A and B are shown apart, each in its own frame.
Chain A
Amino acid sequence: MSKRRSADEKLPFIKANGLTLFFLGLLVLSLVGQSFAGLADFNHQQLADGGNQISWLRYITSAAFSVDVAENWQSEFMQFSFYIVATVWLIQVGSSESKQPDEVGVESDRKQKVGRYADPNSPRPARAGGLRAYLYGRSLGLVMGVLFIGSWTAQSIAGRAAYNHDQLSQYENPVSWGGYVTSADFWNRTLQNWQSEFLAVACMAAFAIYLRYRGSPESKVVGAPHDATGLDS
């Protein structure tokens, strides 16, 4: 353990954080790409509606861009928060994504290294025990959940603004926030994202029973039997 730790500390920053940095880089590139594609689409619609063409800067601060970003963000955070919590209680026999059947639940303090079972180098809240350990022990799901609710709320606010812009462009009345969150537009945007997340999660849980990707921690080892559950098999 200590040898592994000291080896990790010697890694260059970029190598030590390559996974996070790689996906953050892809996030930025995708957002930039989305902003230009979205601007072209928005300006095309403006032409059809008799509106003015807008600049890139104006577009990336517009409700139209915000709602398109937020509706995708909320579904990703929803997916992870649900998956984190669901995998505590639900298993998939044979999947690398699942715990063993006898590990269902939040597990013991001893196994989770909480309170008096904590290691000297355990995070401080885990060593503290009590409410701090309780909250820290659920912090990954809680933060994902807060980001889900935050971005879903953001979707509702930006979506209402974009929707009302379209309503006025088509000579129709704008709607209240309450009217928007019960509208077809809000739920169409929401559910079309949710269904794709649920599909991806279900596929990942099930495919990981029979399929492998050599070297990936998301996969069982290549030679592991199909009925072996969890990554240690």
Chain B
Amino acid sequence: MTAGRVGIVALVCIALALSGCSATSDSAADDAATQFVRAVEQRDGDLACSLLTPAAADSAGGVAGTPCAQAVLKLRVEGSDVSHTEVWGDAAMIRVGSDTVFLRRMGDGWRVSAAGCTYRPDRPYACDLEA
């Protein structure tokens, strides 16, 4: 094998290895975020909690131990149109209505890991509900 062919083979290997390295749009993530926000808007706490990751559902009640289905309804959400989606691997950030929500892909689909999130420069988002 000539040096040129070795180079081409190596670059093809690199390109193949990078095939999963771009941001993807994932309508399933959009749907999960939209469904969650609508459930909160419609005061359906049980449905909203079923769309959270287990860790987020556990922490929703805070130290007071409020049931998740009640705690999640304290989120302030308005509108359910998706305006921006970022999906990197099994993590996503979606701007839906007035809210920014973060999601993780679990075994049974996308689940919300943080909601009611507000941007802070050079720091993580401040989220009213997070895992």
Contact = CB atoms under 8 A, between A and B. Distances in A.
Interface residues of B, number: 41
A136 to B, nearest CB: 9
Interface in B12-27: 14-15, 17-23
Interface in B95-128: 102, 104-107, 113-114, 117, 119, 123-125, 127
Interface in A130-176: 139-140, 143, 146-147, 150-151, 154, 157-158, 160-162, 164-165, 167-174
A143 B7 contact: yes
A161 B4 contact: no
Contacts of B114: 171
A51 B17 contact: no
B17 A70 contact: yes
Q: By CB atoms of chain A within 10 A, which of B4, B6, B20, B107 has the most? A: B20
Given A147-B10, A151-B14, A154-B14, A51 B90 contact: yes
B41 to A, nearest CB: 22
B68 to A, nearest CB: 15
A158 B18 contact: yes
A52 interface: yes
Interface of A: 50-52, 54, 61-66, 69-70, 73, 139-140, 143, 146-147, 150-151, 154, 157-158, 160-162, 164-165, 167-174
